[in-house]
Structure 1
Amino acid sequence: MRTPSRWLLSPAASLIALGTLFILLPLVSRFWLGWSYPGGYVSDLAIGSLLLLLSYRRPILAVLLMLAWGVMLLGSAELVAAVGRMPEPGDLKYLTDPQFLSHSTQGAGIGNPWLAIALIGLGVACVLTGRRRWPALSRYAYALPAVLLLGHAADQYYNPNEADQWKQFNLPHKLLVESVNSAQLRAEDWLDGDVPDSPPDIAELTRLDLGGTPLLTHAGKARNVLIVTLEGIPGAYIAENRAAINSSYTEDLMPRLSRWAERSMSTPDYVLHGHQTIRGLYAMLCGDYDKLDSGTPKGVELLNNATRNEQCLPAQMRSQGFSTHFLQGAGLRFMAKDQIMPHMGFQQTHGREWFKNKPYLEFPWGMDDKAYFEGALKYVKQLRQQKQPWMLTLLTVGTHQPYSAPQEYLARYPGAKQAAIGYLDDAVADFLDGLEKQGVLKDTLVIITSDESHGLEQVRLASAWGFNLVLAPEQTTLPKLKNGVYGHIDLTTSVLDYFALPVPDNIAGRSLFRDYTTHREIMSYTNGMLRQHDGETFTECNFQQVCRRYASPGFIADSARYLGRVSGKQARLVSQRAELLDQSISGGQIGLHYQFANRQRIDLQANARDDWADNLIGAQYLEMPKGTRTRVTVKIEGMGLDRNGARLQLKTKEFDRNVALDIPELPLLQRGKSIELSFDFDNPETRKAFSFHLTGEGRGAIRISDFSVVTEPIPPELIAAQNVEEPLEALPH
C-alpha cells in the first residue's frame, strides 16, 4: 500500500486535482449559480479539458494557467452578480479593488466566497501533488477539446438561442470566440476593399403606410378608445396565436383571455420592439421605435422635445376633442411616468394614489390585478357619465417580479409566476365581462395588448412575441385573425385610422384596420438580440455582430429555415439601421438636460425596503456617452416632518446592479429645512441602463424641487490636461 506522501506525488493524485480544478469545479459552480444550459456545460468541458492537457507535464505553465483560470472563473461569477454581464479582460483588475467589491456586492465583499475558497484549496492541492515524470499522453488526446469546441460552434451556428452569454460560454471560450470573429471580420473587410460605408436606408422602417385596403368603409362607430396594457404578457399565452403559428408551446395559462380573443380581431404575428414598460408605452403611443439598445428611453428624451410629443396618440386625440386619461396600478415616479405621460398628452395621469378600494394582496409595486381592474371599472363608469368622448390607457403591474398571487392560486399552479398570470387572467376577464355589462363594447374601441414580454424558456422569439386583441362595435365585419406582421409601432396609426383622423407625417407604421398585399420591414431588440425582418428574410444579430438569416414569411414563427450566417459590412448595416432609428428624438446630440423633479408632495414611509418600488425619483435607464461628464443637482425640502426628520439615501446602478460612484451622503433632513447638493462624474466609457435610486424614511413628507442630470462632452483640452483615466468604480460596458 502506498503511503499518503507517496500517493500525493503520484500521477493519479495530480490528475485528479487538476481535473477537479479545471473541469469538475466549473461544472458544479455552473449548476450552483443557476447557469445550467447545455452549451455552457460543453464549453466548460472543452476549455477545462484543454487547460488540463496544456498543464500536463508543464508545471510552470500549469501554475500560470491555474491562476488565470481561477481569476476568470471567480471574476465571471462576481461580475455577473454585480452588473449582469460577463467580464472583459480589463475588468479583472476590479477583483483587487476593495471599493468595487464592497459596493457591487452591497457591502458583503466577495459574493461567492465558497468559490474562492474552492479555487485556492484546489490550487494548493495541484501544487502539492505536482510531479514532473508523468507518462506521456496519446497524440490524439487533444481531439477531445477540439471536437467539443467544434460541436459548440456548430450548435451556435445552426441553432442560435436567446440564453445569456454566461450560460452558453465560460470566459476563456467567449474571449476565444470574439478573437476568431474579429479576425474573420477584418479579413472580410480586407477582401471587400476599403470602401466607405454609405448610410443605410431606413425609409421603409419610418414610413407611414396607409396604402392598404380599409377593413371599414367609413370611420369607426366607436366614440371612445380604451387601451388595456398587461404587464409582461407574451403572445404565446393566447391560444389562437399559438394555433395560428403552429407553436410547440402548449401551456394554457390564460384560458379566459383566450376565449375573449376568439371574440376579437387577434393579430398572431405581433412584434414587441424592446423590453421595459416605458419603452413599450412610447412605441405604442407615439408611433416610433424606442431605442433598439440599452440607451436612454425615448420617453425620457421626449421631455426635452417641445414638438415631437404633440404627434403622440394622447395629444392627437386630445386635439380632436377627446378627454385623455392614463391609469396604472403602480406609483408614477418610477421611470418618470409622472412627467412623461402628461407630456405625451394625457390630461389626467393617475397611479397607485388614485385607488381607494382595498387591495386583496400586499404587493410592493402597487395594486394587485383584481383590485386594480375593479378600480379601473369604476374609472370607466365615471368617464361614461360625461358627454365628452374619451381615451383611457390602463397599465397593470401584478405580473411584474416579484410575482404575487393569493394562496388559492399558489396552490393551483407550480410556481408564483404561473399563479400570478392565472390571477391576471381572471382579473382581466372579469373586467371585460364588466365592460360588456355596462355597454362599453357597443360604443368603445377596446385594444388589449402588453407592454413587453417576460419571455419563455425554449420558445423561439418569445421575448419579442406580443399580442393585440381588438374589440369594436363593428366586430362582425372585422376578421377574427389579422394576417400580416404588425407591432407596437403600428398602434397609434391604427387608432387614428379607425376614427378616420389625420395621421401626422412623422408617425410610422401601418394600420391594423387595413389589408396590405406588400411586405414591410420591422425591427426589434430583446434579450440582447437585434432582429430585422423584411417580409421574406428574418435576420438576427448577436453581441459579436454576427447575424444569422432565415427564410420566414413572418416575424414570429415557431421555426424557420436557416439560410446562413452574415458578418462584416452586411451585418453592420443592421446595427447602423438601429442606430439611425435611435436618433429620432435626440438627433444624435449628447449635451442634453433632464429635469426629473416635479415639486409634488411625497409622503414618506417609516421604512424603505426596496430600491425599486420605494424609489422617489424617476431617473432610470439613462445613457451617458463615452467621453462626457455628468453633473447632478439636487434640492429636497422637508414638509411636515416630525422631530426625527427624514433619512435619505441616493444610489446609482448600471444594468440594475449597484455602481460605486463618489456621491456625497445626504444629511438628515430636518423639519422646515432643505438639502442642496451637486456632484459630477466622468464617463470614460459609455454607461448604459444607468439609474438613480433615491429612497427616504421618516414621518411626514418631502418635496423634490430639483433633480437635474446634465451630460455634456468633456472638452478635449481638459482631457489632455487632466490625463483622464477610467476610475476604478466605473465599469465599462
Structure 2
Amino acid sequence: MPLSSRWLPYPAASLAALGLLFLALPMACRYWLGWSSWPGYVSDLGLGGLLLLLSYRRPWLAAPLALAWALLLLGNAELVNAVGRMPEPSDLKYLSDPQFVSQSTQGGGIRYPWLAGALALAVLACLLLGRSGGPRPPRYAYALPLALLLGHAVQQYRAPSEDDQWHLFSLPHKALAEGISRARVALEDWYAGEDSGLPPDIAGLSRLDLSGTPLLPGGGKARNLLIVTLEGIPGAYIGKSRQLLGTPYKEDLMPRLSQWAERGMLTPDYVLHSHQTIRGLYAMLCGDYGKLDSGTPKGVELLASQTRNLQCLPHQLRAMGFRTHFLQGAGLRFMAKDQIMPHMGFEQAHGRDWFRNKPYLEFPWGMDDKAYFEGALRYVQQLRRERQPWMLTLLTVGTHQPYSAPPAYLQRYPTAKQAAIGYLDDAVSDFLAALEKQGVLEDTLVVVTSDESHGLENVRLASAWGFNLMLAPKQDRLPAVKTGVYGHVDLTASLLDYFALPVPDNIAGRSLLRDYATPREIISYTNGLLRQHDGKVFTECNFQQVCRRYESSGFIADHAKYLGRVSGRQARLVGQRAALLDQSISGGQLGQRYQFANRERIDLKPESRDDWADNLIGAQYLELPKGTRTRVSLKIDALSLDRRGANLRLLTKEFDRDTSLAIPALPPLKRGESIQLSFDFANPQTRKAFSFHLLGEGHGAIRISDFSVVTEPLPPELVANQAVGTTPEAAAH
C-alpha cells in the first residue's frame, strides 16, 4: 500500500501531541533560552524525531518516554541555569528524584515554570490522545532522524565546536554520543593493541617550582593569615578581571568587591581545577590537584593518610607556631569536613552550630552571608586577643543552590541567584571594611578567593575561572595585577613563601609571590571537560575523548587561535596524565579504609526531615571500584536519651538517589545501651558518588564510636560470580 494511504488514517491529534513534546517544545526552549545553534537544532530534530516514531501507536512505550523526556528537558534547563553546566550521564539518576528536586528548588523555586507547565500539558496530551492498534510508521521513516544524528556526529568529530555542550546536544543525545564514543575508543584500543610506551610525563604538573624572582625578598610583613572563600563565585564577577581578560560578560554583580580588587594584588588568570567545595578546599590548602573526575574526593582519601596531611598548609603553619582555625556557614558533618579539616591541621573547626547570632533569613544549608560575616568578625576579634599568630579560613554558603536573599534584594534583581550574589557582595565588602577599620589589615594577609565556579552561560571557560585577591600590609610592595597563569594548586606554596617558611618538596605549584620567566603547565576538570595548558598550547577534551587544541599564552581567555583537533591515543594522553595526578594519595591502590566516626556528642532532633541536612555521618561521594567488596562496621552509643530512646536509619545513595542495596535495619537504641552492626556488599560495577546517610530521631544525645568503611579487591575468580546485594551480619547490644 502506498505510504500516503497508510499514513492518512493515523490520528492527527496524537501525532500533533507527540510532535509538540518531542520536536516543537525542545526547539522553542532552545530558542528562548538563547541556546540557538544549528547543531543543537539538528540534535533536537534527530533524537526527537526518532522518539516520536518509536512512541507513535505504542502507548505502552510512549508513556515512559514522554515522562522521561519532559523531566530531562526541564532538569537540563534548570541545572544549566543554576550551576552553568549540563548534566553528565551519571547525573541522570537523580534528576527524577523528588527529594533532590524539592531541595534544589527550595527558596528560589523552579526557574522556568512556563517550561514545566508546557511540558506537563504536552505529556498529558500524549497520554490522553495516544491509542494502541493500527499501522505504525514504515521502517524507512527512521532514515531521516538517523541521518540527522549521523551528520551531527560526523560534524562534531571532524570539526568540534567551541560552544557549550547544551548549545550542541540535547541531553539524551549527549548520553548516547558518550556511549558511542566509549565503544569507538575501545575498538581503537583493540585494533591498535596494548600501549608499549612509558607512562606520560606529569613532572611539569606535579612539581614544586620556586625558581621565580621573589616579589618580597625575605617574606611579607603580615603576622596572621585570613583566607576568605566565597561559595561558587567565578572570576568574571570581578570588574578588573573582566577588563584584563577581555571577556564579553558585562554584568556587574559584585561592584563593591570589584572596588576592593583595585586596592590589592589581583590574579585574573586564576584556574579552578574542579567542581565541589571539598575538592577546591583540598587543592588550595594542600598544594595538590583534587580529583580530575567524579571519583572519591582526595579530602576523603586524605583521612587514610598519616603523612600527606602533614604537608597541608594548616599543618605547616601550626608547626611554625600559628593557631589554625576553620569556620564555615554550613554544618561540618557533610562531606566529613568535621574530620577532614582537623586532619589537614586545623586546631579548631566550626560550622553552623558555632554561631549564636540570629540569621537574617532562613537558608537550608546554613547561615546567610550577612549573619555569617558578622559572626566571622567576632571570631577574628577573639583571635586578635591571643598572643600567637593565627590562620583563619572562612567558607560562605549563601551563594549555593538554592539561592536565597532578603526581599529587598529579590526585588532589585531579576533572579534569586543574582540577588544572592548581590547580598554576598555587600556582606563580604562590609566585612573587609570592618577589618580595615579595626586595624586587622595592618598585620594580616587577607586572601579572597572562591572554592569553585558555578559558571556562566556564554562565557568561555567560566566554569574553571576563579580569582585570587591578596590584601597585604605594605600593599605598595606588590603589583596591582599578578600576570601569568596560576590556580588553587599554587596557594599553599604561595602562602608559605609569603611568610618565608619552608615549602615541602612533595607539594605542587608555583608561588604567586614570584615572577617567572617561563610558562608553566596546569590542568582542570570542570563542566565535563578536561583542560590542559602547557604555557603555549591549550588542549580541551570533551566527553567523546575528542580534543581541541588552541594557541594561547594564558588559560582563561575570551578567544584563542584554533589549531585543530586530536583524538585517539594522542588525546587520551591528557586523560592519562589526569589519572596519574588522581593517584597522588592512593598511589593507584584499590584498597580503601576510612573511619568516619569522631566520637563526639551528637544531639538528636525530635524529627528527621532531610536526608542531607540531618545526616549524622560524613561518608559522602565515595567511589567504590569495580570488582571489590565493601565492609561497613558501626557502633552507636546512647549518651543521654529519655525513656523512649532513639530511632535510627541508615540509607545509601548513589548520585544522591536511594540505592536498592538491602542495608540491614537498625534496631531501636535504648537508654544506656549501644548498637553494633556490620554488613558487606559487592561492587560488580564501579559505584560513584556513593553516600551513607545515618538519620536519628529522639530526645537526647548519642555518640558514633565506629563507622568504618573498608573496600578491598575480590579474588579474580570471584569477581565474575559476585552478585549485587548485601550479606548482613548485625548484632544489637
Indicate the SS of the match to 1:128: coil
List per-residue Cα deviations over 1:274-300 (Å, max 9, x = no partner): 111111111001000111111111111
1:324-723 correspondence to structure 2 within 5 Å:
324-719=324-719, 723=721
Q: CA RMSD in A?
A: 3.6
Q: Is the 8 A contact 2:269 2:483 kept in 1?
A: yes
Q: Give the drift of 1:716.
A: 2.5
Structure 2 match to 1:5: none
Equivalents in 1 of 2:9, 2:658: separation in Å? Answer: 42
Structure 2 match to 1:24: 20
Q: Is the 8 A contact 1:335 1:620 kept in 2?
A: yes
1:11 equivalenced with 2:7 (yes/no): yes
1:150 equivalenced with 2:156 (yes/no): no
**Structure-2 change in CA distance of 1:724 and 1:554 (3 Å):** same
Structure 2 match to 1:169: 170
**Structure-2 change in CA distance of 1:638 and 1:115 (3 Å):** farther
Q: Is the 8 A contact 1:79 1:86 kept in 2?
A: no
1:299 equivalenced with 2:306 (yes/no): no
Indicate the SS of the match to 2:454: coil
**Structure-2 change in CA distance of 1:310 and 1:193 (3 Å):** closer
Indicate the SS of the match to 2:391: strand
**Structure-2 change in CA distance of 1:174 and 1:598 (3 Å):** closer
Structure 1 match to 2:318: 318
List per-residue Cα deviations over 1:336-357 (Å, max 9, x = no partner): 1111111111111111222222
Larger CA deviation: 696-705 vs 21-30: 21-30
Structure 1 match to 2:722: 724
Q: Give the drift of 1:149.
A: 5.1
Counterpart residue identity of residue 349, structure 2: T
Equivalents in 2 of 1:435, 1:176: separation in Å? Answer: 52
Q: Give the drift of 1:476.
A: 0.8
Q: Give the drift of 1:586.
A: 0.8
Larger CA deviation: 705-714 vs 26-35: 26-35
1:263-302 correspondence to structure 2 within 5 Å:
263-302=263-302
Counterpart residue identity of residue 223, structure 2: R
Counterpart residue identity of residue 465, structure 2: W
List per-residue Cα deviations over 1:602-624 (Å, max 9, x = no partner): 11222323222221111011110
Indicate the SS of the match to 2:279: helix
**Structure-2 change in CA distance of 1:115 and 1:610 (3 Å):** farther
Equivalents in 2 of 1:87, 1:69: separation in Å? Answer: 22
Q: Is the 8 A contact 1:641 1:670 kept in 2?
A: yes
Unaligned residue ranges in structure 2 (runs of 5+): 80-85, 103-118, 727-733
**Structure-2 change in CA distance of 1:436 and 1:31 (3 Å):** same
Q: Is the 8 A contact 2:662 2:725 kept in 1?
A: no
List per-residue Cα deviations over 1:636-686 (Å, max 9, x = no partner): 222322333323222222222222211122233232232222222211111
Q: Give the drift of 1:151.
A: 5.3
Counterpart residue identity of residue 470, structure 1: M
Q: Give the drift of 1:507.
A: 1.0
**Structure-2 change in CA distance of 1:294 and 1:628 (3 Å):** same
Equivalents in 2 of 1:457, 1:104: separation in Å? Answer: 23
Q: Is the 8 A contact 2:324 2:392 kept in 1?
A: yes
Equivalents in 1 of 2:696, 2:568: separation in Å? Answer: 50
Indicate the SS of the match to 1:492: helix
List per-residue Cα deviations over 1:32-84 (Å, max 9, x = no partner): 999975455431312444677xx7xxxxx998999878766666667897999
Unaligned residue ranges in structure 1 (runs of 5+): 1-7, 56-60, 95-99, 107-111, 729-733
Indicate the SS of the match to 2:620: coil
Indicate the SS of the match to 1:269: strand
Indicate the SS of the match to 2:501: coil
Counterpart residue identity of residue 151, structure 2: L
Structure 1 match to 2:105: none
Q: Give the drift of 1:597.
A: 0.7
Counterpart residue identity of residue 370, structure 1: K
**Structure-2 change in CA distance of 1:123 and 1:519 (3 Å):** same
List per-residue Cα deviations over 1:565-587 (Å, max 9, x = no partner): 21110111111101100111011
1:252 equivalenced with 2:252 (yes/no): yes
Counterpart residue identity of residue 175, structure 1: L
Indicate the SS of the match to 2:304: coil
Structure 2 match to 1:198: 198
**Structure-2 change in CA distance of 1:105 and 1:225 (3 Å):** closer
Indicate the SS of the match to 2:682: strand
Give the count of matched residue pairs: 691
**Structure-2 change in CA distance of 1:102 and 1:452 (3 Å):** closer
Equivalents in 2 of 1:102, 1:724: separation in Å? Answer: 32
Q: Is the 8 A contact 1:43 1:152 kept in 2?
A: no
**Structure-2 change in CA distance of 1:209 and 1:601 (3 Å):** same
Equivalents in 2 of 1:595, 1:528: separation in Å? Answer: 30
Structure 1 match to 2:134: 128
Equivalents in 1 of 2:724, 2:533: separation in Å? Answer: 39
Q: Is the 8 A contact 1:538 1:549 kept in 2?
A: yes
Indicate the SS of the match to 1:467: strand
Indicate the SS of the match to 2:709: strand
**Structure-2 change in CA distance of 1:65 and 1:241 (3 Å):** farther
Larger CA deviation: 700-709 vs 638-647: 638-647
Equivalents in 1 of 2:181, 2:61: separation in Å? Answer: 20
Counterpart residue identity of residue 128, structure 1: G
Counterpart residue identity of residue 168, structure 1: F
Structure 1 match to 2:162: 160
Structure 2 match to 1:4: none
List per-residue Cα deviations over 1:351-407 (Å, max 9, x = no partner): 122222222122222211111111111111111112211111111111112222111
**Structure-2 change in CA distance of 1:29 and 1:695 (3 Å):** farther
Structure 2 match to 1:229: 229
Identity %: 64
Q: Is the 8 A contact 1:79 1:87 kept in 2?
A: no
List per-residue Cα deviations over 1:459-497 (Å, max 9, x = no partner): 111111111000111211211111110000000000011
Q: Is the 8 A contact 1:23 1:44 kept in 2?
A: no
**Structure-2 change in CA distance of 1:552 and 1:15 (3 Å):** farther
Equivalents in 1 of 2:196, 2:502: separation in Å? Answer: 41
Q: Is the 8 A contact 1:103 1:660 kept in 2?
A: no
Q: Give the drift of 1:589.
A: 1.3
